Amino acid sequence: HHWGYGKEDGPSAWHRQYPVAKGNRQSPIDIIPNEARRDSTLGPIFLKYDQCRSLNIANNGHSVVVEFDDSDDRSVVLGGPLDNPYRLKQFHFHWGGKGCEGSEHTVAGVGYASELHVVHWNAVKYKTYNDAAAAPDGLAVLGIFLELGDDHRWLHMITDALYTVKFKGSATDFKGFNPKCLLPSSLHYWTYLGSLTTPPLHESVTWIVLKEPIVVSEKQLGMFRMLQFNGEEEDQRMRMENNFRPPQNLKERIVRSSN
């Protein structure tokens, strides 16, 4: 009996199998800009993605994920709150149902239509991604909000491939995609210590949430909703939508803001 986003197996039930769900550094959170601490020691982040090698696009039953070759330091995020370069591993999305919110982080109580997570791991300190994913300084996830407006000029490269990964467990080749094309113009960010937002909910993430959203169209976002949570062989057809965890308690944490 696996976790999901439904009434019985959704975020409010995760704590039964994953008690860390009630931990002290859970994600996402509501970011309150006026309460974030402007920190002049926080430098800019650098995204070195020019040599990145995307491998495949997959439906893991929770989201659609694009994986990268992380066998060397060819593509990393560095700077900002990070003490080491973190290696690009994958990116995926969270989104809502038609017209309703879908981001995981919220800003002063307001959600966006979707949120992109670009996942990196600390290969300087840890041998494998799985080791890093369970360590307090193991992961760095870049969060990018998606708001509704005009078509995004490059998102079609992802949405055009979604029909090939409609069902859980499907994956297809997806080479030559550079996530740089999904970034907003400004890399100003908020940062705080948090967790994976899905089980196993490890408290291993340094979150870097960009302040500026990217703009995508309702039509493009709607394409994500043709994905299904279920496998092709399952009777129960469940449209993949509302795959977001609501904001968690900030507890004793502060959010810092880049300049």
Residues from 182 through 221 that contact ligand A6N (CB under 6 A): 196-198, 200, 205
> Tokens representing 45?
């982040």
Tell me if 216 sits within 8 A of 148, measured CB to CB: yes
47, 116, 133, 144: residue in contact with ligand A6N (rule CB under 6 A): 133
The alpha-helical segments, DSSP class H, found in the chain are 14-17, 129-133, 156-159, 218-224
Q: Mask: binding to ligand A6N, 30-49, rule CB under 6 A, as x and -? A: --------------------
Residues from 136 through 165 that contact ligand A6N (CB under 6 A): 141
CB of 133 to ligand A6N, least distance (A): 3
For residue 76, what are the β-bridge partners? 48, 87
CB of 196 to ligand A6N, least distance (A): 4
Tell me if 151 sits within 8 A of 215, measured CB to CB: no
In degrees and rounded to multiples of 5, residue 96 shows phi and psi of -100, -160
Does residue 119 bind ligand A6N (CB under 6 A)? Answer: yes
Residues 110-141: b if buried by 16+ CB within 10 A, e if exposed: ebbbbbbbbbbbbbeebeebeebbbbebbbbb
130, 172, 186, 259: residue in contact with ligand A6N (rule CB under 6 A): 130
Query: In 10 A of CB 189, how many CB atoms?
Result: 22
25, 117, 120, 168: residue in contact with Zn ion (rule CB under 5 A): 117
# residues near ligand A6N by CB under 6 A:
11
Residue 130 touches which of ligand A6N, Zn ion, none (Cβ within 5-8 Å per kind): ligand A6N
Q: Which of 1, 2, 15, 62 is catalytic?
A: 62
CA distance 243 to 164: 20
Does residue 62 bind Zn ion (CB under 5 A)? Answer: no
Query: In 10 A of CB 3, how many CB atoms?
Result: 19
78, 134, 157, 238: residue in contact with ligand A6N (rule CB under 6 A): 134
CA distance 73 to 75: 6
CB of 171 to ligand A6N, least distance (A): 15
CB of 144 to Zn ion, least distance (A): 11
Tell me if 146 sits within 8 A of 214, measured CB to CB: yes
CB of 90 to Zn ion, least distance (A): 10
**How do 64-68 and 214-216 pair as beta strands?**
unpaired
Query: Is 1 noted as a catalytic residue in this protein?
Result: no
Residue 243 touches which of ligand A6N, Zn ion, none (Cβ within 5-8 Å per kind): none
Residues found near Zn ion in the complex (CB under 5 A): 117
Residues found near ligand A6N in the complex (CB under 6 A): 117, 119, 130, 133-134, 141, 196-198, 200, 205
Catalytic residues: 62
